[in-house]
């Protein structure tokens, strides 16, 4: 399986986002850069619970999004 990204998602804290099929250099420093892969995200229940324990003070939508992104990043590491 080829583990190279097929696209890149760029997100700014203000909610603006951009999808690109080539890696780009962003002008802003606050851009969250996420590589996107074709393989499925596959985490064990234990790995998800470990991430939950690290972020156990979830207080709103942004915290839940941060938790979801942490799950995706962990899955991409595999």
Digit-coded pLDDT (tens) for 11-28:
888 888 888 888 888 777
pLDDT of residue 2: 59
Rounded to the nearest 5 degrees, what angle is found at the Cα of 66, between the Cα atoms of 65 and 67?
90
DSSP helix/strand/coil, 36: strand
* Prediction pTM value: 0.42
CB-based contact 50:31 (threshold 8 Å): no
DSSP helix/strand/coil, 62: helix
Nearest to 76 by CA among 32, 31, 52, 43: 43
pLDDT of residue 44: 81
Contacts of 56 (CB under 8 A, 6+ apart): none
């Amino acid at each position: 399986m080829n583990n190279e990204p097929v696209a890149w998602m760029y997100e700014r804290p203000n909610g603006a986002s951009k999808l690109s099929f080539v890696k780009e250099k962003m002008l802003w420093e606050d851009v969250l850069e996420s590589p996107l892969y074709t393989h499925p995200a596959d985490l064990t229940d234990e790995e998800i619970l470990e991430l939950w324990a690290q972020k156990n003070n979830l207080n709103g939508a942004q915290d839940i999004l941060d938790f979801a992104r942490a799950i995706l990043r962990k899955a991409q590491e595999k």
